Structure 1
Amino acid sequence: MEAARSLGMTKGMAMRLIIIPQAFTRMLPALGNEFIALLKDSSLTAVIATPELNYAAMNVAKNTFERYPPYLTEAAVYLVLTLFLSRVVVRGLEKKYSPK
């Protein structure tokens, strides 16, 4: 802040151009983790997707007498969803806002 002020920037300019971009790049990994946790714990997932996938996996397990493949497929769906979000969304933001 002192360096920006010594260059003649106002407090608002220093916050907008220097402080906030640096703070945003430092908190991006934590924000990404929180975003993925919110996705997994959201009420929409808990009410619609999880029971639906569990029901489908249970039906497949009952009909084929195989227990592990349907439930592993269900787990893979959530893994793909979270990997997609962490790779594409969070890394895209990190690349966009990383210092050049």
Structure 2
Amino acid sequence: MAREKSWQDALPLADLLKGDATPVTLGTRELAIFDSENGITAAYARCTHGAANLCDGYFDGTHIECPLHQGLFDARTGAARAAPARIALRMIEARVQGDMIQLLL
């Protein structure tokens, strides 16, 4: 039976790297919380091509570039935007509750 998702505290808002990707580990999950131009978004942190941690890549406020092979992803939607990345990131619903960023996991 599948476990029902619930909102989990992920990161105090004050710890969010402004205009960047913030790495977060919840249990065994390596996640990335993006302070994008369109608000806070979140995804699993591993590149779908080479498994590098995307939080180590360049983030321009909209797109995150993989530090290993320069694949590019839209941090708002997860869409793969440049080769060699072809598979979208697995995005996670995010919200701000008070002074905490929460993720639906």
Structure having the higher Rg: 1
- Greater share of residues in helix: 1
Q: Same fold (TM over 0.5)?
A: no
Q: TM-score, normalised by structure 2?
A: 0.21
- Greater share of residues in strand: 2
